[in-house]
Amino acid sequence: MGCSSCGTATGKVAGCKSNGGCSSGGCNRMNVFDWLLNLPVNDEDAACKVVEVSFNNGSRKDFFRNSTVHHFEKGDFVTVEGISGFDVGTISLTGELTRLQLKKKGINEFDPELKKVLRRSSDKDLEVWQQNKGREKDAIIQSRAIARQLNLEMKISEVEIQADGRKATFFYIADDRVDFRELIKVYAREFKVKVEMRQIGARQEAAKVGGIGSCGRELCCSTWLTDFKSVNTTAARYQNLSINQSKLSGQCGRLKCCLNYELDTYLDALQHFPENAETLQVAKGTATLIKKDIFKDLMWYILPDSNKQYPLTIERVRKIKQLNAQGNVPSELEAVEVTSQKVKEVEPEFVDVVGQISLRSLDKAEKKKRHHHSHKEQPRQQQQQKSQPQNQQRSQQQQRPQQQQQQQRRDDRQQQNQKKDDRRKPPPKK
C-alpha cells in the first residue's frame, strides 16, 4: 500500500530513502528485494551490465543494457531507448539478480539487439514524462467511447503513453477476434501518436488494475505472481471445498489462483487413502463417500434415506472393501466418535445468592473512611478551639463602643421626653 513519505510526486524518491523498495510494495508493483545489494563485487568487469527497468508503476518490465559510465541503484529514474524516441522508467533490479532473471526468461545477456540506457533522467525528461502521463486517463475514456461508436466488442482496460508522447499502447480485452483496422486509424488521427494494440486476458487486467482480495491482502497477480497457471474445479474438490462459483472466483471473474497453492500438499496426503472406495455395501444399503479428511485420516460416508454422516477410519474402509470383494456384507459401518479438541465453555447455572453476600467488607471500608475523616477533623477542631477566645475578645471589644452609643441615645431620648412633659403641665395658680 505504501507510505506517503516514499511517494515520487516530485519525480524523486524521498522520505525513508528506500528508493522505492519498501516491503509494502506500494511504491512499485512486482516489487523485488535485492538481497545481494550490499555484497562487495570482486571483479567490476565481470559484473552484469544489464539492468531491469519497470514502467507504469511496475505493470511492465524490460531489460536494458547499461552502456553509460553511471552506476545505477534501485529506484533511480533513467531514460532508455523507445520506439522512435525515448522512454522513462525506474530501475527495479541490478547486479546478479538481473542475471538470474535473464537466465530464467531465456534472454542472452550479450544480445546486441538489447536496447540501451541512454542517461540518467534529467528534470526536463521528467517534466515531459509527467505531462504525457497526465493524458492517459482522458485517453482511456475517449478510446472507449470511440470503440463503442464503431460497435466493436472489446474493452479498453489501460492506455500507456511513451514518455516523449510519440507512441501509445492500448491494452484491450475481447472474447473473439476483433477487426480494429479502422479503429487504429481513428486513434492515430485523434491522439496524434503511433498506435499499438495489445490483447490481454482477464487475469492480466486484474493485475494491472490491482485491488484487495477476499483474504484482506493485495492481489497476488499485482504484487508478486507473474505466471498464471490453469485452475479448474478439480483442485477445489481435492481440497473438500464447496463448488460455489461466487466464493471460488476472484476479481477477474476466473477461479482464484490460490487454489493451486496447497494442491500438491493435498495430493501427497491423499496417496495413502484407499482407491475405488466411493461406495461400500453394508446391511442397511450402499454407503456413499462424501468427504476425505486428511488431517484426521477419516473418510465420511452417508447411507441412503438418511442425512447422518458416518466417519470411518482408513483401516475400517479397507476391511469393508475386502469383505465386499469376498461377497460378504457387514452389518454396520462401525463409525468412530469424533471429539473436538476445543474445550467447551460451560455456562454457569443460575444461583440464588440473596442473603448469602456479606456486607462486612463494605462496613470495614466505611469505618476506614470515617476514621480517616475523624483524624482530619481533629486538628481542625483544635484550631477552632484556640481561635474561639481570641474571636470572643475581638467581638467584645467591637461590641463595647456600640453599647455605649446605644446607652447615650437612650439618655438623650429620656431627657427630650422629660422636657416635653414639663411643657405640657399647666402653670401653677397664684
Q: Is 225 exposed, middle or buried, given 0-12, 13-18 or 19+ CB atoms closer than 10 A? A: middle
Same domain, 68 and 109: yes
Rounded to whole angstroms, the Cα distance separating 191 from 94 reads: 35
Q: Is residue 231 part of a domain?
A: no
Question: Do both 290 and 319 map to the same domain?
Answer: yes
Max CA separation in the chain (angstroms): 175
Q: Which three cell numbers stand for residue 79?
A: 531514460
Contact in structure between 302 and 287 (CB atoms under 8 Å): yes
Helix (H) or strand (E) holding 138: helix 136-149
Task: Write the burial class of residue 257 (CB in 10 Å: 0-12 exposed, 13-18 middle, 19+ buried).
Answer: buried
Q: Count other Cβ atoms within 10 Å, centred on residue 56.
A: 16
For residues 13 and 65, membership in a common domain is answered with: yes
Which residues of 146-262 form beta strands (DSSP E)? 155-161, 167-173, 194-199
- Helix H or strand E encompassing 280: strand 279-282
Same-domain pairing of 158 and 110: no
Q: Residue 288 is part of a domain; what is its CATH number?
A: 2.30.30
Domain annotation covers residue 116:
yes
217 occurs within a structural domain: no
Whether 317 is in a domain gets the answer yes
Q: Are residues 112 and 164 in the same domain?
A: no
Cell of 427: 402653670
C-alpha cell at 363: 462496613
pTM of the full structure: 0.63
Question: For the chain, what percentages of helix, strand and coil (3-state, to nearest 5) are there?
Answer: 40, 20, 45
Query: In terms of domains, do 98 and 171 share one?
Result: no
Sheet of 167-173, strand order: 155-161, 167-173, 194-199
pLDDT in tens, 306-343: 888 899 999 999 999 999 998 888 888 888 887 766 66
| Number of CB atoms found within 10 A of residue 353's CB | 7
**Which grid cell is 165?**
508522447
β-pair type (155-161, 85-93): unpaired
> Residue 299 in contact with residue 292, Cβ under 8 Å?
yes
Residue 149 included in any domain: yes
* Nearest residue to 259 (alpha-carbon basis) of 282, 273, 240: 240
The range of the structural domain enclosing residue 62 comes to: 4-122
Instruction: Flag whether 402 is in a domain.
Output: no
How far apart (Å, rounded) are the C-alpha atoms in residues 428 and 430? 7
Q: Are residues 38 and 117 in the same domain?
A: yes
Domain tally, the chain: 3
Answer yes or no: is 353 within a domain.
no
Give the whole-angstrom CA distance, residue 207 versus residue 167: 23
Cβ contact 159:171 at 8 Å: yes
Write the pLDDT tens digit of every residue in 201-254: 889 888 888 889 989 998 998 888 888 888 988 899 888 888 888 889 998 889
Tens digit of each residue's pLDDT, the chain (430 residues): 445 545 555 544 444 545 444 544 455 567 777 777 777 766 777 788 899 999 988 788 899 999 888 888 888 899 999 888 899 999 988 888 888 889 988 898 888 889 999 999 999 999 999 999 999 999 999 999 999 999 999 999 999 999 999 999 999 999 888 888 899 999 999 999 999 999 998 898 888 888 899 899 989 988 888 888 889 888 998 888 888 888 899 988 899 999 999 999 999 989 889 988 889 999 888 999 988 988 888 999 999 888 888 999 999 999 999 999 988 888 888 888 877 666 667 776 766 656 555 656 666 667 777 766 666 556 665 666 656 666 666 666 666 666 777 777 888 887 777 776 666 656 555 4
Distances in whole angstroms, Cα of residue 394 to Cα of each of 151, 238, 383, 397, 404: 110, 104, 17, 5, 16
Is 47 in the same domain as 74?
yes
* Domain identity same for 45 and 105: yes
Return the CATH number at 142.
3.30.300
Q: Which of 287, 310, 325 is the last residue of a domain?
A: 325
Can you tell me which residue has the cell 517534466?
127
**CB-based burial of residue 275 (10 Å sphere; 0-12 exposed, 13-18 middle, 19+ buried)?**
exposed
CA angle (172, 125, 116) in 5-degree steps: 75
For residues 27 and 351, what is the distance between their CA atoms, to the nearest angstrom? 61
Q: Angle at Cα 412 formed by Cα 409 and Cα 416, nearest 5°?
A: 140
Residues 19 and 102 in one domain: yes
**Radius of gyration for the chain, computed over Cα atoms and rounded to the nearest angstrom:** 47
Residue at 283 is within a domain: yes
* Non-local CB neighbours of 99 within 8 Å, separated by 6+ positions: 48, 50, 109
